[in-house]
């Protein structure tokens, strides 16, 4: 035994009591005058469940993927009656909204990642992590087949197979090339941490390459032509970051090639950021034009060679080509090969992602859940179930629905079919009564009685409100949290279902269906300007939104370590600028 010195004691205190280190970090972060607020901790959740009796075999849950959905699921799962196996080719969670910042060194790659083992280490649930890639899902036998993604030198022992009772698929998606020739070979993507690191090196190498002595002006201009394909949030943010990096840091170090730099943003639609409010789009386009970023709208990429990119103008079909030095391709997502393969297994051949019901269960499978970018919630249409709804509501089997009968099922209908509520809201109707009145004409509400045809008519348009959820971190995180809460209460809900009425069938659904709550979205536009689209259509643009962005992103980071690192990265950038070493 050896005695501890003061130094060791302090050091140990920090490691053992993380709250102590939080305190330190808060005071550090506070120094940067950053309003950091923290998400309520999942462990203080009301859904905690008594430990299972000894001897009961734990249900085996296999989670594929450690992105937003998978990690959020793991963070929120706190029912110790599961035996959880997590399989992912990466042993860390990456805070992807900061990936564009990593491409130019505003934030370091390591500041936005957190080891999965660290995230799950202190949980009361048995969670085992395996760094491997799942290459086959055998739904029939409830098995997944995996393989270490490293060069293992293990003669086949790197492959293994895992049973499951529940499978949670949260593998994300890959970049969508739309099968455009040459994209796979010549373009950079921006999905993974490695992509962002590669882009950073490529930008700096482009400047070094363009500084070589034997080049013609034309060649130099080609090398320093940066093309971004896709005017979505990622593409736009990368373009803005790149512009700032070049303008604030690289021009100082490479003054001779300054005039040869060009940034072009290609967007196939009529506007960039077209999922945002028009004011934001207009501001972004105007700012980019002022910054000298060439935004080409209605411009579709048809081919990419090693030095040229070919585009077609959407209106007139004219094609033209531009020489380029580097392309970043960011035009949306497509399913991974294994998801495609699995979709075939479950008979979902024509879909862009794995379809699930509103409880995130893969359609046609009871024990498999899918969430995040690899999945899409297939919201059930009211019209599909209209007869069942009618007969369930018509308690006296009179063939007509009275308002009273109707009011008894309104809540369940709204819970089960959220589009109904959306429709009412958009039509500015106070409640269901208005809808019925509209269908029936101007009658006193109490006297309204509808037959099935009139009922159909009244609800005929509500399904038009159905929208696919966007493929964002926010959706994935909420889905993960939702599913974890369902798993936490699985046994209890089996006995006391808490969901809406089953219109086709008897009893109630076990859980409320998943509901996405949009908390707003940011679009950083460079030069300390950010556009923010907040709930209730609030729009905020400018420096204040940039500070809001700093605060929200800091608070949303997964650990105190990453928070401290990201804030110190921002501070470093502010004081010293971005680094341009080619590593």
Q: Is 464 helix (H, G, I), strand (E, B) or coil?
A: helix
Segment interacting with a copy of itself, rule: CB under 8 A, options 226-234, 357-365, 396-404, 565-573: 565-573
- Calculate the alpha carbon distances from 367 to 133, 140, 165, 362 in Å: 21, 11, 7, 8
Of 166, 160, 100, nearest in space to 368 by CA: 166
Give the nearest distance from C-beta 160 to a copy of itself in angstroms: 5
Residues 275-334 that bind a copy of itself (CB under 8 A): 306-307
CA separation for the pair 12, 361 (Å, rounded): 44
Do 192 and 67 contact (CB within 8 A), yes or no? no
Who contacts 215 (Cβ-Cβ below 8 Å, separation ≥6)?
223
Q: Which is nearer to a copy of itself, 6 or 536 (CB)?
A: 6
**Residue window 504-543: x/- pattern of binding to a copy of itself, with contact defined by CB under 8 A:** ------------------------x--------------x
| Among the listed residues 183, 382, 403, 565, the single contact to a copy of itself using CB under 8 A | 565
Q: Which residues pair with 264 in a beta bridge?
A: 227, 294
Segment interacting with a copy of itself, rule: CB under 8 A, options 5-13, 53-61, 314-322, 497-505: 5-13
Q: Which is nearer to a copy of itself, 260 or 378 (CB)?
A: 260
Give the nearest distance from C-beta 119 to a copy of itself in angstroms: 10
Do 358 and 513 contact (CB within 8 A), yes or no? yes
Q: Is 80 helix (H, G, I), strand (E, B) or coil?
A: coil
Q: Which residues pair with 167 in a beta bridge?
A: 62, 368
| Among the listed residues 38, 43, 124, 152, the single contact to a copy of itself using CB under 8 A | 152
CA separation for the pair 251, 139 (Å, rounded): 56
Q: Is 132 in the site for a copy of itself (CB under 8 A)?
A: yes
**Residue window 242-271: x/- pattern of binding to a copy of itself, with contact defined by CB under 8 A:** ------x---xxx-----------------
Residues 185-224 that bind a copy of itself (CB under 8 A): 193-194, 197, 204-205, 208-209, 211-215, 219
Do 281 and 251 contact (CB within 8 A), yes or no? no
Q: Which residues pair with 295 in a beta bridge?
A: 265
| Among the listed residues 45, 83, 158, 454, the single contact to a copy of itself using CB under 8 A | 158
Both tokens of 198, joined, read 């590669």
Q: Which is nearer to a copy of itself, 219 or 434 (CB)?
A: 219
Rg (CA), the chain: 27
Q: Is 390 in the site for a copy of itself (CB under 8 A)?
A: no
E strands present in 425-510: 449-451
Give the nearest distance from C-beta 222 to a copy of itself in angstroms: 10
- Calculate the alpha carbon distances from 144 to 67, 80, 135, 374, 532 in Å: 19, 23, 8, 17, 41
Q: Which is nearer to a copy of itself, 122 or 495 (CB)?
A: 122
Do 528 and 545 contact (CB within 8 A), yes or no? no
Burial class from Cβ neighbours inside 10 Å (0-12, 13-18, 19+) for residue 183 reads buried
Give the nearest distance from C-beta 455 to a copy of itself in angstroms: 56
Q: Is 17 in the site for a copy of itself (CB under 8 A)?
A: no
Q: Is 154 in the site for a copy of itself (CB under 8 A)?
A: yes
CA separation for the pair 85, 188 (Å, rounded): 32
Segment interacting with a copy of itself, rule: CB under 8 A, options 173-181, 371-379, 497-505, 562-570: 562-570
CA separation for the pair 438, 231 (Å, rounded): 42
CA separation for the pair 530, 537 (Å, rounded): 16
Q: Which is nearer to a copy of itself, 149 or 555 (CB)?
A: 149
Residues 328-367 that bind a copy of itself (CB under 8 A): none
Q: Which is nearer to a copy of itself, 21 or 512 (CB)?
A: 21
Site for a copy of itself, rule CB under 8 A: 5, 7, 11, 14-15, 21, 24-25, 90-92, 108-110, 113-115, 117-118, 121, 129-132, 148, 150, 152-154, 157-160, 193-194, 197, 204-205, 208-209, 211-215, 219, 248, 252-254, 306-307, 528, 543, 560-561, 564-565, 568, 572, 574-577, 579-583
């Amino acid at each position: 035994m050896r005695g501890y010195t003061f130094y060791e004691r302090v050091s140990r205190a920090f490691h053992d009591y993380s709250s102590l280190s939080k305190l330190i970090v808060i005071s550090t972060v506070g120094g940067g005058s950053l309003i950091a607020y923290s998400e309520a901790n999942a462990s203080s959740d009301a859904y905690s469940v008594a430990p299972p009796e000894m001897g009961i075999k734990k249900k085996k849950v296999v989670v594929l993927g450690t992105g937003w959905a998978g990690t959020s699921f793991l963070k929120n799962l706190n029912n110790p009656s599961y035996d959880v196996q997590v399989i992912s080719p990466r042993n860390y969670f990456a805070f992807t909204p900061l990936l564009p910042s990593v491409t130019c060194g505003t934030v370091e790659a390591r500041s936005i990642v957190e080891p999965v083992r660290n995230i799950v280490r202190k949980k009361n649930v048995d969670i085992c992590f395996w760094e491997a890639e799942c290459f086959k899902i055998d739904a029939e036998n409830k098995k997944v087949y995996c393989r270490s993604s490293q060069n293992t030198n293990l003669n086949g022992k790197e492959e293994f197979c895992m049973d499951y009772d529940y499978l949670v698929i949260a593998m994300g998606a890959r970049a969508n090339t739309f099968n455009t020739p040459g994209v796979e070979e010549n373009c950079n993507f921006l999905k993974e941490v490695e992509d962002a690191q590669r882009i950073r090196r490529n930008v700096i190498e482009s400047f070094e390459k363009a500084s070589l002595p034997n080049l013609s002006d034309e060649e130099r201009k080609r090398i320093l032509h940066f093309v971004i394909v896709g005017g979505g949030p990622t593409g736009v943010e990368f373009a803005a970051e790149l512009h700032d990096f070049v303008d604030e840091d690289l021009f100082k170090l490479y003054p001779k090639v300054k005039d040869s730099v060009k940034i072009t943003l290609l967007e196939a639609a009529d506007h960039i950021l077209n999922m945002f409010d028009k004011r934001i789009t207009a501001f972004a386009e105007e700012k980019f034009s002022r910054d000298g970023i060439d935004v080409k709208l209605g411009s579709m990429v048809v081919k990419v060679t090693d030095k040229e990119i070919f585009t077609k103008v959407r209106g007139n079909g004219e094609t033209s080509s531009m020489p380029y030095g580097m392309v970043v391709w960011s035009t949306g997502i497509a399913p991974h090969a294994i998801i495609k393969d699995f979709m075939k297994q479950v008979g979902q051949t024509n879909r862009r992602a794995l379809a699930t019901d509103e409880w995130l269960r893969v359609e046609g499978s009871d024990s498999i859940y899918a969430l995040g970018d690899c999945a899409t919630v297939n919201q059930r249409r009211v019209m599909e179930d209209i007869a069942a709804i009618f007969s369930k509501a018509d308690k006296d089997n009179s063939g007509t629905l009275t308002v009273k009968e109707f009011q008894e099922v309104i809540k369940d209908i709204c819970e089960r079919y959220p589009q109904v509520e959306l429709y009412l809201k958009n039509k500015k109707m106070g409640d269901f009564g208005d809808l019925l009145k509209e269908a029936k004409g101007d009658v006193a509400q109490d006297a309204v009685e509808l037959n099935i045809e009139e009922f159909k008519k009244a609800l005929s348009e509500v399904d038009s409100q159905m929208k696919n959820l966007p493929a964002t971190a926010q959706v994935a995180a909420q889905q993960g949290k939702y599913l974890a809460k369902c798993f936490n209460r699985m046994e209890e809900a089996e006995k006391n279902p808490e969901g809406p009425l089953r219109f086709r069938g008897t009893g109630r659904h076990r859980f409320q269906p998943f509901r996405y709550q949009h908390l707003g979205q940011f679009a950083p536009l460079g030069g300390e300007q950010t556009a923010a689209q907040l709930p209730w259509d609030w729009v905020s643009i400018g420096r204040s939104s940039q500070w809001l962005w700093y605060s929200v992103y800091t608070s949303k980071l997964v650990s105190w370590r990453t928070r401290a690192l990201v804030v110190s990265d921002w501070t470093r950038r502010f004081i010293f600028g971005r680094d341009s070493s080619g590593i």
